[in-house]
Amino acid sequence: MTALADALGLYVHWPYCARICPYCDFNVYRPRGQDDALLDAILADMTGWRQRTGARPLASIHFGGGTPSLMTGARINRLIEHADQLWGFEDGAEIGLEANPNNIDNFADIIAAGVNRLSVGVQSLEDAALSQLGRDHDGALARRAIERAMSLCDRVSIDMIYARAGQTAASWEAELREILAFGASHLSPYQLTIEAKTAFGRRASRGEQLDSPVELAADLFDLTHDICDAHGLPAYEISNHARTVQDQSRHNRLYWEGGDWIGVGPGAHGRIGSAAGTGRLACEARAQPKAYIDAVAGAGSGLGATEQLSASDERAERILMGMRLDDGLDLEVLQRKTGLTIDIDALDRLGAQGLVEQRGARVRLLPAGRIFADRISGELVPDTP
């Protein structure tokens, strides 16, 4: 297997959702009967990308969105088969898909199509919380979806949202313990964040409290880590917990380790190519499904914007991503990919404050630094290019 910093992944964005959740700021749309046209466009876009990447086997595919579990198994299988024909797969390649509990009847077809890792977006087990979050399923369906996924697939992750308005430490602990009791090998508990351009953002700007106060959110974060640690699911990234190294998400690790990935589908992002000192290409596909379909039909590519990152821009991004990992940022990879290193004075200062430590070639957050990950990453980026 290729080291993930040197591996290639494929992200497929399926932008449709049966209902748009009021907290969501992803590139999402209500279905408009364009599934066949979009599928054909994504397949053609992949063919174009093969010419740009050359022959490199894929370490992973991830179907995100949107709601990719709305896709039929036949469509998912066509995408996987096409990827196999274009690039082929590394041994043990991860093929992951984000599944909505509402699509429970489609889970068997999704697995039969070739998906080997399911992330079930249950978000909560409480009916009142799910209603508050504007989700289109209840707690009973969330529980059934987890059981169904685990009966079909060895690698199941459960996505949760906490730090919601009205939540207490006791209620979150009870909910988290029930989730852990299902025995899934991976858990992604995310704190609710209020994004400005969402329905929640507009309500919050009118003074409505939709998330937990900052201090309680910090307590819930610590509680989450303590309970998951005690349950044998330590965090390997700020918001991702896994039982073993094999249970970690290979595709997400590829992002955090700084590997290359292709993004296809409306609004998908990608990062390609990195030779020391030259920076790499940041790519973003056209966001609107129709614009994406038209772009692929016209130019053979759904690309909207590309930006050649400078070596120092690439360094800042690699520091931000790498420091999210529990085992930290690999300084040798950073040097090899960008020709640059971190701010050594900042490393000494943050080390003296008990927020980070260096172990061999890696710099990692200490528990006291986890909650300040973004600020600490920013301090490790030197001011001068």
Report the interface residues with ligand SF4, using CB under 6 A.
Answer: 17, 20-21, 24, 26, 28, 65-67, 100
d(CA 224, CA 218) in angstroms, rounded, equals: 10
List CB contacts of 261: < 8 A, sequence separation 6 or more: 8, 9, 10, 11, 254, 255, 270, 271, 272
Closer residue to ligand SF4 (CB): 22 or 339 = 22
Q: How far apart are CA 56 and CA 14, in angstroms?
A: 24
- The minimum distance between CB 23 and ligand SF4, in angstroms, equals 7
Cβ atoms of 160 and 122 closer than 8 Å: yes
CB of 67 to ligand SF4, least distance (A): 5
CA distances to 53, 308, 309 from 271, in Å: 11, 10, 10
Is the CB of 69 or the CB of 377 nearer to ligand SF4?
A: 69
| Closest CB to ligand SF4 among residues 30, 375 | 30
Enumerate the H helices of the chain as residue ranges. Answer: 35-53, 73-86, 107-112, 127-132, 139-152, 169-181, 199-205, 214-230, 250-257, 289-299, 311-322, 331-338, 344-352, 373-380
Residue closer to ligand SF4 by CB (options 26, 182) is 26
Residue with Cβ nearer ligand SF4 (93 or 179): 179
Rounded to a whole number of angstroms, the minimum distance from the CB of residue 246 to ligand SF4 is 27
Residue type, 294: D
- Give which of 295, 268, 260 is closest to 54, Cα–Cα: 260
Residue corresponding to tokens 């599944």: 99
Q: Least distance to ligand SF4 from the beta carbon of 100, Å?
A: 6
Q: Residue 83's Cα: distance from chain center in Å? A: 20
User: Strand, coil or helix: what is 159?
Assistant: strand
In whole angstroms, the minimum distance from the beta carbon of 269 to ligand SF4 comes to 15
Q: Which is nearer to ligand SF4, 135 or 186 (CB)?
A: 135
Of 20 and 272, which has the nearer Cβ to ligand SF4? 20
- How far apart are CB 28 and ligand SF4 at their closest, in Å? 5
Tell me whether residue 25 or residue 127 sits nearer to ligand SF4 (CB atom): 25
One-letter amino acid at 298 equals: G
Q: How far is the CB of 20 from ligand SF4 (least distance, A)?
A: 5
**In whole angstroms, how close is the CB of 102 to ligand SF4 at the nearest point?**
9
- Asked whether the beta carbons of 94 and 250 are under 8 A apart, the reply is yes
Measured from the CB of residue 27, what is the shortest distance to ligand SF4 in angstroms?
9
Residue 148 contacts residue 174 (beta carbons within 8 Å) = no
φ, ψ at 202 (rounded to 5°): -70, -40
Dist CA 108 CA 2 (whole Å): 30
User: For the sheet containing 186-191, what is the strand order?
Assistant: 235-237, 240-242, 186-191, 156-162, 117-123, 89-99, 58-65, 8-14, 260-264, 269-275, 279-285, 303-308
Report d(CA 149, CA 151) in Å as an integer.
5
CB of 42 to ligand SF4, least distance (A): 17
Nearer to ligand SF4, 66 or 270 (CB): 66
Residue closer to ligand SF4, measured from CB, 156 or 319: 156
